[in-house]
Structure 1
Amino acid sequence: MTGEKKIKFIVDVVYVVLVAALAVFALKYLVWWLLPLVLGFCIAFALKPLVNLVYQMSSATRRFCAVMVLLCAYATLAALVWLGVVQLVVGLRRLILTLPELYESSFLPAAGSLSDWFSGLLGRFFPQLSEEFSTLAQMISEQTTTVVGGLSERLIEGMGALVSGLPGLMLTFLFTILSSFFISMDYN
């Protein structure tokens, strides 16, 4: 290789590394900052035909029609999300509260009868294994009870972590809503 080719190769490698580093930086940091603007544009683009229709059918300004269409769209979306979240929270709460009781009333008796049946079957063919199996089944039952209790606690902690992440998500939604209003009002 000549000196010029080596320098060109090094410059090309440095260029590719810099472009890759900028792409990683953009994906890691800038996407989250630009996401509300991109989502706002997508919403304004999706509602543009409806805004144009309302504008043509009314004597109001295009900006007013855009604001009204967006308000109606966001009100509908908010109502649907609210109903979905309420149903999800009620269902999860019911599941979390009834999980230990369901385990005690349904799973333990079924597992006990299965264990007794299997222990009796082992007792007929391998009497020495029957007692060891009963001990093992008892240990598994105790460990499962502990795990189910811990699972309920972890689900409640997870819901707390989910709620703690809501302020950042709400801020993103707020910027998305604002950008969709501004973009939609001046879309033409």
Structure 2
Amino acid sequence: MNIEKKKNFIINTLYIAIISVIVFFIIKYGLGLLAPFIIAFIIAYCLKKPTDWVSNKLKLPKKLTSILMVILFFSTIGVIIVLLTLRIGSGVAYLFTFLPEFYTTQLSPTLMAFFDVIEGMFKSMDPQLIQTLSDVLNQSLKALGDLLSNLSVMVISSVTNYASALPELLIRILFTLISTFFIAIDYDQIVAFLQRQLSQKTFTLVTHIKDYIVGTLFVCIRSYALIMFITFVELAIGLSIIRVENSLFIALLISVFDILPVLGTGGIMIPWIILTAFQGNYVMAIGLLVVYLIITVIRNIIEPKIVGQQIGLHPVVTLLSMFIGTKLFGVLGLFGLPITLSLLNHLNEDGTIKIFK
């Protein structure tokens, strides 16, 4: 009996491991190949209800309405992308024209004064040690200057690398655009064809999974919108208390930036704190540091709790899945793995599958 149990355990473990590896490679590499068509199908799915409503209200043929809705959708997205690109581009251009002047007029004198203070503190030390310290400080200052001077070259190199990948990106966008038209026009026929390939039980399960994922994805979006709003309120209050100009606008920008999994609030706050300290405004730097620490602590407490409660997972499980998902699949894993675990938990609870007790 024990031998049979061990055999079954080994077989089940290998089976789960093989399935997990296959799923991992499909998600890691297969999604990239099929991404244009998957995105096109998702867009067509999102446009189906508005298309049906407009077609019924205006008594237009459904295929014509589908074409018009797809054109309207991509036109709106295109205008938004162009406006954002122009805005971000002008901001980046200003930043990299401002950096050399900022280094020459503010940062370099501040650093020199800071180094003079340090050197004055060690005057009673061995002259050779003082000279060594002075050389190290001068080399550090020169290295920082070279870094800021070469930053523009690094940006140009990055832009060149992105430009080399632009043809492939344009091809993907073109395939997505064309696929969306075809899928939106014949959406009902495509879904009916896919339904015929599945048994009734399997189709019911797929529909159940689809409805749950769509609902959970909406819940995740709502949860992160709530987190972003909380971060915005905290920033607006904190920056207003320490008397930062345009505190509401800056708080809005940082709260939007905070959604990014790698950069987050620290991507803006930490450089801001360092530059403020180098300028000699230590009171403001300490104030910014306190605001950043409060926001970080509260974010780490509320994010797993809010997201976990919304998708039915324990905060520890949510935090673990977000961390692992980000490491394995990037931004897709940040949202995808918690939703997948929530789906498995839901299917296990309603008795569709049995994974754990």
What TM-score, normalized by structure 2, do the two folds share?
0.46
For 2:69, the equivalent position in structure 1 comes to: 69
For 1:46, the equivalent position in structure 2 comes to: 46
For 2:121, the equivalent position in structure 1 comes to: 121
Query: Taking structure 1 as reference, are residues 18 and 134 closer, same or farther at Cα in structure 2, changes over 3 Å only?
Result: closer
CA deviation after TM superposition for structure 1 residue 116, in Å: 0.9
Query: Taking structure 1 as reference, are residues 143 and 64 closer, same or farther at Cα in structure 2, changes over 3 Å only?
Result: same
Alignment of 1:106-145 (within 5 A): 106-123=106-123, 125-126=124-125, 128=127, 129-145=129-145
Alignment of 1:92-107 (within 5 A): 92-107=92-107
Q: 1: CA distance between counterparts of 2:131 and 2:167?
A: 56
The structure with the largest helix share of the pair is: 1
Q: 1: CA distance between counterparts of 2:177 and 2:146?
A: 46
Q: 2: CA distance between counterparts of 1:138 and 1:25?
A: 50
Alignment of 1:30-41 (within 5 A): 30-41=30-41
SS at match of 1:126: coil
CA deviation after TM superposition for structure 1 residue 68, in Å: 0.8
For 1:7, the equivalent position in structure 2 comes to: none
For 1:56, the equivalent position in structure 2 comes to: 56
Amino acid at match of 2:168: G
Contact kept in structure 2, 1:96 and 1:155, CA below 8 Å: no
Q: 2: CA distance between counterparts of 1:50 and 1:23?
A: 34
Q: 2: CA distance between counterparts of 1:151 and 1:38?
A: 38
SS at match of 2:43: helix
CA deviation after TM superposition for structure 1 residue 34, in Å: 1.4
Q: 2: CA distance between counterparts of 1:13 and 1:37?
A: 34
Q: 2: CA distance between counterparts of 1:167 and 1:76?
A: 23
What TM-score, normalized by structure 1, do the two folds share?
0.82
Q: Deviations over 1:117-152 (max 9, x none)?
A: 1111221x4262433322222121112222222222
Amino acid at match of 1:61: P
Q: 2: CA distance between counterparts of 1:49 and 1:12?
A: 43
For 1:170, the equivalent position in structure 2 comes to: 170
Structure 1, 161-170 or 91-100: larger mean CA deviation? 91-100
Q: 2: CA distance between counterparts of 1:149 and 1:75?
A: 40
For 2:181, the equivalent position in structure 1 comes to: 181
Q: 1: CA distance between counterparts of 2:13 and 2:122?
A: 69
Query: Taking structure 1 as reference, are residues 32 and 135 closer, same or farther at Cα in structure 2, changes over 3 Å only?
Result: closer
Amino acid at match of 1:30: G
Which of the two has higher C-alpha Rg?
A: 1
Q: 2: CA distance between counterparts of 1:70 and 1:103?
A: 49
Query: Taking structure 1 as reference, are residues 184 and 135 closer, same or farther at Cα in structure 2, changes over 3 Å only?
Result: same
Amino acid at match of 2:125: F
Structure 2 stretches of 5 or more lacking a match?
1-10, 189-357
Seq. identity, %: 23
For 1:6, the equivalent position in structure 2 comes to: none
Structure 1 stretches of 5 or more lacking a match?
1-10
Amino acid at match of 2:173: F
Q: 2: CA distance between counterparts of 1:51 and 1:66?
A: 6
Query: Taking structure 1 as reference, are residues 12 and 116 closer, same or farther at Cα in structure 2, changes over 3 Å only?
Result: closer
Q: 2: CA distance between counterparts of 1:56 and 1:73?
A: 19
Amino acid at match of 2:31: V
SS at match of 1:139: helix
Q: 1: CA distance between counterparts of 2:81 and 2:160?
A: 19
Amino acid at match of 1:92: V
CA deviation after TM superposition for structure 1 residue 52, in Å: 1.0
For 1:8, the equivalent position in structure 2 comes to: none
SS at match of 2:122: helix
Query: Taking structure 1 as reference, are residues 187 and 94 closer, same or farther at Cα in structure 2, changes over 3 Å only?
Result: same
Q: 1: CA distance between counterparts of 2:173 and 2:38?
A: 12
